Amino acid sequence: MQISKSFKRLIFLELAIPLALLTLGIYHGLLQVIYRAGVLQQPAFGKLEYYQGLTLHGVINAIVLTTFFAVAFGHVTMAFYFKKEPNRKASWISFIFMLTGTVMAAWAMLSGNSSVLYTFYPPLKGHPLFYIGTALLIVGSWFPLFTWARMYVKWKKENKHTKTPLAVIGTLVNFIIWFVCTLAVAYEVLVLLVPWAMGWTETVNVTLARTLFWFFGHALVYFWLLPAYIMFYTILPKVAGGKLYSDLAGRIAFFGFLILSIPIGVHHQYSDPSITQGVKFFQGMLTFGVVIPSFITAFTIAATLEYAARKRGGKGWFGWMGKLPYFDSKNFLFSYFICGLILFIFGGLTGVVNASYQLNTVIHNTSWLPGHFHMTVAGPVFLAIIGMSVYLYSTMSGKKIFMPKVNVIIPYLWMIGVLIFSTGLMWGGLIGEPRRTNLGMTYLNSASEHFRPDWVPTTLLALCGGIIMFIAGMLFLVVFFGTMFRRKSTEAVLELPVSEAYHDEKRIPLFDRFKPWLVVMGVVLALAYIPAFLNVEKNTGPGAPAFTPSNPVPIENVKK
Ligand code: HAS
């Protein structure tokens, strides 16, 4: 498909700006493992303090990169399937909002005024520009939903009895989830955090802020995941050389996420006071429910891969696995996808451990948690984002991939790094290693009375994995920016691989409409969250004063 210069420029900027920032994000990832292994035994390195680096790492990698990419990939998907570019003005306004917000938040973090981590964590207090910046980034990412919804409604009017393309369903579901869940964090930022950061209010209601954040926070992880799932359902079967085992399974999975992604945030608050056991239990059960769309995906994609491998001559119960195009540099998307899927088997299973109310008490706030989420967000999500970014850039610019043989190896290197890194973290977590802690200052410093020799092997393992991940990440940036600096050598087009479905499944209206699912979504959300907010209202104590991460004493007392 031919596209306009303006659209091309917009997509390139939305891909390249966060990837350029990723250099900082990856650098701080490396520093994390170095601090934690006790190689650095100081509060700061290169004028950037530990928690400042951790905030930059989380915000750039988990909020900025993922949001820009989801918007860019959504634009591309809608344009490709509807053969029409989204509204130009709205798309550029959205980009300007997101960019301005990112610059503001980046300044606030780099100046050392906002070491509050990507979860905002009041009573840690950030600079007002950090909160306003992140709010602008979020508001900017709302615009596309409205333009895409208009495109969809128009298309549907003209194609009443045609199945809506699965990728379009996935994109709209994802941004509806995003719009609803970000309303809570927008309220948290604008009503609680900005007035507090400006000095208009003296204290902050921590329980309410945390509950609003986690209303958003777990749905956020599915906002990261769904673009990858769209690729697994609609692109992977084609690049694997086969067909999608069931298109209907994909629809069921996406609508399942629509209902269950948000009303489960309290599973991040199992250890919080104020919320009663009944609410925690109910949301814990819903969390087990949200695992189902992923299990559906696991079996559908496994069957899809088996079909593709058998078509390529694969035989036997497991022997077929050897026939997939693992190292085909011309078809490199496969390598990015398969490595992400393999990581997600472990990322998903550890998620189920977290979801259990009882087991959660063992792993909560330990390094098990970053072990879990690096096999999810730094697994299928990150690999799908970077693989698709270089694919889109190359095809839409007409420039060949720089170092194609290295490009196809990167995901394997990354996967090995993550597996080693996460093993170190999870093993450490099970023997009590805390997360978000500069271990080099105390527990991993043999001169400290708190020294824990049993955490030496676990943190060293995480260090080895982290170094491998750093190398893979840097190689990717060389491939991406190397491709940017090449000359155009083929026609520049917008082209996505499109998978056919294996079965000729009839159109089922229920799985081709949003209204019934939106109603169910509203009901489940109300059942899960009205009691939670009533609990918060009833059980909240006095407001908290401001803290910094480096001192357990409130800022105002330190000043005195
Ligand atoms: Fe999670 C905490 C529970 C999924 C990210 N999660 C986090 C945090 C992050 C995160 C960032 O219940 C930390 C937040 C913080 O800073 O405090 N998580 C779950 C559950 C799932 C889950 C039940 N998480 C994710 C995803 C993430 C993510 C996805 C990012 C993208 N998580 C929790 C809980 C906590 C938590 C608690 C709070 C803990 C606490 O105490 O603080 C489920 O959605 C997982 C379902 C997934 C599966 C896997 C399906 C497997 C597939 C691959 C198939 C492979 C194939 C390849 C086909 C059941 C689809 C075959 C291979 C061949 C070679 C043929």
Ligand 1 contacts CB of residue 364 (under 6 A):
yes
Distance CA 261, CA 90 (A): 27
Clarify whether 452 is annotated catalytic. no
Ligand 1 contacts CB of residue 341 (under 6 A):
yes
Ligand 1 contacts CB of residue 287 (under 6 A):
yes
Q: Which of 210, 218, 251, 267 is catalytic?
A: 218
Record the tokens describing residue 365, joined without a space. Answer: 């706030």
Note the pLDDT of residue 48. Answer: 94
Ligand 1 contacts CB of residue 294 (under 6 A):
yes
Strand partners, 551: 548
Q: Which of 435, 443, 470, 547 is catalytic?
A: 435
Note the pLDDT of residue 112. Answer: 92
CA of residue 345 to ligand 1 center, whole Å: 9
For residue 1, count other CB atoms closer than 10 A to its CB. 13
Q: Which of 185, 285, 173 is nearest to 230 (CA)?
A: 173
Strand partners, 244: 501
CA of residue 355 to ligand 1 center, whole Å: 10
Note the pLDDT of residue 560. Answer: 64
Clarify whether 486 is annotated catalytic. no
Q: Which of 299, 315, 327 is nearest to 407 (CA)?
A: 327
Q: Which of 222, 229, 255, 282 is catalytic?
A: 222
Helix (H, G, I), strand (E, B), or coil: what is residue 434? strand
Pocket test for ligand 1, best of 259, 288, 376 (most atoms within 8 A of CB): 376
Record the tokens describing residue 386, joined without a space. Answer: 């970077």
Residue pair 419/343 in contact (Cβ under 8 Å)? The answer is yes
Q: Which of 334, 344, 373, 443 is catalytic?
A: 373
Ligand 1 contacts CB of residue 299 (under 6 A):
no
Q: Are strands 48-49 and 44-45 parallel, antiparallel or unpaired?
A: antiparallel
Ligand 1 contacts CB of residue 360 (under 6 A):
yes
CA of residue 378 to ligand 1 center, whole Å: 11
Q: Evaluate the omega torsion of the peptide bond into residue 542 and state whether it is cis, within 30 degrees of 0.
A: no
Note the pLDDT of residue 555. Answer: 86
Ligand 1 contacts CB of residue 61 (under 6 A):
no
Terminal-residue alpha carbon distance, the chain? 66
Residue pair 473/22 in contact (Cβ under 8 Å)? The answer is yes
Ligand 1 contacts CB of residue 295 (under 6 A):
yes
Q: Which of 168, 272, 15 is nearest to 496 (CA)?
A: 168
Ligand 1 contacts CB of residue 256 (under 6 A):
no
Clarify whether 450 is annotated catalytic. no
Nearest protein CA to atom 12 of ligand 1, as residue: 355
Pocket test for ligand 1, best of 223, 354, 415 (most atoms within 8 A of CB): 354
Clarify whether 503 is annotated catalytic. no
In DSSP notation, 342-397 reads HHHHHHHHHHHHHHSHHHHHHHTTBTHHHHHHHTTIIIIIHHHHHHHHHHHHHHHH
* pLDDT per residue rounded down to tens, the chain (560 residues): 889 999 999 999 999 999 999 999 999 999 999 999 999 999 999 999 999 999 999 999 999 999 999 999 999 999 999 999 999 999 999 999 999 999 999 999 999 999 999 999 899 999 999 999 999 999 999 999 999 999 999 999 999 999 999 999 999 999 999 999 999 999 999 999 999 999 999 999 999 999 999 999 999 999 999 999 999 999 999 999 999 999 999 999 999 999 999 999 999 999 999 999 999 999 999 999 999 999 999 999 999 999 999 999 999 999 999 999 999 999 999 999 999 999 999 999 999 999 999 999 999 999 999 999 999 999 999 999 999 999 999 999 999 999 999 999 999 999 999 999 999 999 999 999 999 999 999 999 999 999 999 999 999 999 999 999 999 999 999 999 999 999 999 999 999 999 999 988 899 999 999 999 999 999 999 999 999 999 999 998 889 999 988 888 898 887 66
Clarify whether 268 is annotated catalytic. no
Ligand 1 contacts CB of residue 224 (under 6 A):
yes
CA of residue 558 to ligand 1 center, whole Å: 40
